[in-house]
A and B are shown apart, each in its own frame.
Chain A
C-alpha cells in the first residue's frame, strides 16, 4: 500500500508519501527526504510514530482528523491545519483571488460597498452576524468591487461568495 498527498507548508507545496513496508513499518518521503518509521495505532484517530534508529529521542504521539476539505493533525501540543494546494480558503479576510466568502453560516447585517467601488485590502466589505457576534469581512486585495451578492438581512451559508473584488492591475504570483 502506498499513500500520496500534497500539503502546503510555509507557502510551498510539499509532497508526502507513505509506503507500507511490513507490520508497523512504513517508509515516508517528505519532499526528497526519506524517513523509516513504525506507526502504531493508539485509539481513535491516534498514532505513535517511532522513527527507526531514533526511537528514544524522537518518538511521539499524533492525532489526526479531517476538517472539511483540510486535515488537522495535533502533535507536540500544537495543532496544524493542513491544506492541499488548491484547497486554501480565505477567512475573515477575503482571499487573494478577490473573493470575499462567508467564513461561517450567518446573517448579513450590512453591506458596506457597492459594485464599482474601489477598495483597499483589509477594507470591510460585509458585516456578518454569526454565533451572536459581529464579524467584519474584509477585501483580500486592493481592487474594484466587481459584484456583491450579499444582501442586507439575508442568510448565507459557510463558504458562500459574498463579493468579488477584481484585483488592481499589479500582478504578483
Chain B
C-alpha cells in the first residue's frame, strides 16, 4: 500500500472496540486520531486509545454519537480533515455523509449518493434486480398493515418482516403463523421507529434453512470495485450475528467467483466507493439470494483481514483520500489463506433469555497467544453503560484450517475472563465445541433449534469451585470500585465483599 499518510488528522465518530481498532489503524499510518465521547465515556477505552478527545456531552446515543451538529463541530474544533464513522451510529446516514462533504471534510465511507441507493432494503433490492442479482420474492413497498398482511398470506408462511431502513436485525421478525403477522408488523414498526426514526416495513418470503454468506466489496473513487471474498455469518440469534468466519466451508471457488461478481456488479452500478458488504442467503441447493448491502465497515471485518492479509481500515483511509485500488492492492494475492473465526463477546445472558446486562466489569482477562486477536473496548473496572450496544469485545482467531481455528477459538474462550456482569463467553464456547459447528453444519436458525446451547449445563459448581469462590476473596486482590459514572456507587455497594473480618457477604445490596 501507499507509504505517505493519506491524512494528517482523522476524527472517529464512534465508541467501543471499533473506535479503538480505528485508532490503532490511524497510528500505524502516522495519522493523528481524535476521539469523541459522551459524558459516561470520558474514561472509555476508545478515549484512552486516541491521541486527542473531544467531549460531546450527553449520555444517550441521540445526545452524543448520533448528534450530527456536535460531531461536525468537534471535527472543526479539532482540525480534523476526515471522519471515520465506524459501524452503527452515523455510519450509514447519508445526510451525515453529505454534511461532512459539504463542510469540506472527507467521509471515510461511500459517497452519499451510493449510500442512498443501497442503504434502504427496498432501494437496494431494486438496484440488485436492475444489476441482475437474484433476490427473494417480496413486497416492493409499504402500503400499510392491511396490504402487508394480504401479501404475506398470498406468498404463504413463513415470511420475514423487516424494517425498510433496517440493519443489524432490528425490526426484523420471522413469522411462521399468519395470525402472528399483525403483531410482528406492529412490534417491528416500534423497533424501527426507535432505531431508525422510520417505521416503514417490508415483507419477504423466508428462505430456510439458509446460510448467511456475505461478500466484502471495496470500491475506489475511480470506478473500480473489487471483491475480498465471502464471510459466513450463519450462527445468529434474533438475526444478530454471533460467530463469523472466513472463508465459508461451503463456498467453493466457482460460487465465490459468482457471488463476488454479483457484489461487484451491484457496486459498479451505483458508483460505490470504500468498504461495503453485500449480504446473501444461500439455500441448500446452492442458490444465493441478495439480502441487503451494509454501506460501512462491518463488525466482522477482521476475519477478512486475517485471511486476505489486507488491513481494511488502512484501505478505507487510502481510498477515501483518493487512492486507486489497482495501485493499493498491486502485487497482492487476495486468495483466502487459512481460516479465521470471530466470536462477539456481549454483556448478555444467553442462559437467561439473552437479557442484556450493564454494570461494573470488575475483572477482565482477555485471551492471548499465537493466532489470537482481541479487538476490545473494555478493561477491568469499566462500568458498562446501558446506553449503548452490549458488545464488549471481539475474539478473533486464525489457523491454517477450520478444524484448527475451532480448537484455537475454544481454547481462547476457555482462558477468557470477564467477571462482574453476565457475558455470553460460555455460550460461545458451547457453540464452538458443538458437533454441528465443528462439522460446519450451519444455518441461520440453528440456535432456535438448539435451545440447550443457550441454556447451558444445569449442574452447579463442584465443591472445590465453591471453595475457590471463597478463597479468591481471601487471598486474591479484589477490585473495589471502577471507572465510569457508576463506578463509585457500584464499588460502595460491594464493600461487604472486601470486608473479610465480618464476611457477611450478601448484605449491602444496592
Contact = CB atoms under 8 A, between A and B. Distances in A.
Interface in B427-479: 429, 457, 459-461, 463-479
Given A66-B494, A68-B509, A26 B474 contact: yes
Contacts of B419: 45, 63-65, 67, 72, 74, 79
Given A18-B470, A33-B463, A64-B468, A92 B414 contact: no
A82 B469 contact: yes
Interface in A154-169: 158-159
Interface string A121-134: 00000000111111
Interface string A61-98: 01111111101111111111111101100011100000
A77 B390 CA distance: 22
A74 B365 CA distance: 11
Nearest to A138: B353
Nearest to B456: A78
A139 to B, nearest CB: 14
B420 A132 contact: no
A140 interface: no
Contact of B469 (A7, A60, A68): A7
Given A47-B471, A64-B469, A82-B466, A10 B380 contact: no
A28 B500 contact: no
A73 B421 contact: no
Nearest to B433: A77
A103 interface: yes
A105 B389 contact: no
A173 interface: no
21 contacts: A3-B473, A3-B474, A28-B467, A44-B363, A44-B476, A45-B472, A45-B477, A45-B478, A47-B471, A62-B472, A66-B497, A67-B420, A71-B473, A72-B419, A78-B426, A91-B353, A92-B353, A130-B386, A132-B389, A134-B191, A159-B510
B461 A72 contact: no
B194 interface: yes
Interface string B486-501: 0000000110010010
Contacts, number: 222
6 closest A-B pairs (Cβ-Cβ)?
Answer: A64-B472, A84-B506, A62-B468, A92-B353, A77-B414, A65-B362
B207 interface: no
A5 interface: yes
A10 B414 CA distance: 23
B18 to A, nearest CB: 16
Contacts of A20: 474
A47 B472 contact: yes
Interface residues of A, number: 75
Interface string B182-216: 00000100110011000000000000000000000
Nearest to A103: B355
A42 interface: yes
Contacts of A31: 463
A109 B192 CA distance: 13
Contacts of A134: 187, 190-191
B414 A49 contact: no
Given A14-B466, A62-B472, A80 B420 contact: no
B356 interface: yes
A47 B468 contact: yes
Contacts of B390: 131
Nearest to A49: B468
A interface majority secondary structure: strand
Interface of B: 170, 187, 190-191, 194-195, 238, 349, 352-353, 355-359, 362-363, 365, 380, 386, 388-390, 413-415, 417, 419-423, 425-426, 429, 457, 459-461, 463-479, 493-494, 497, 500, 503, 505-506, 508-510
A115 interface: no
Contact of A1 (B422, B500, B506): B500
Interface string A8-51: 01100010111010001010101101010101111111110101
A79 B352 contact: no
A109 B390 CA distance: 19
A73 B469 contact: yes
A143 interface: no
B470 A5 contact: yes
B60 to A, nearest CB: 11
A44 B349 CA distance: 24
Contacts of B465: 62, 73, 75-76, 80
A58 interface: yes
A134 B425 CA distance: 22
By CB atoms of chain B within 10 A, which of A30, A31, A65, A130 has the most?
A: A65
Contacts of B464: 35, 37, 49, 51, 58, 60
A84 B414 CA distance: 26
Contact of B509 (A1, A42, A87, A133): A87
Nearest to B510: A68
B420 to A, nearest CB: 5
Contact of B477 (A41, A58, A74, A87): A41
Nearest to B470: A18
Given A103-B352, A105-B386, 7 more contacts: A5-B505, A16-B466, A20-B474, A24-B475, A41-B476, A86-B506, A87-B509
Nearest to B240: A133
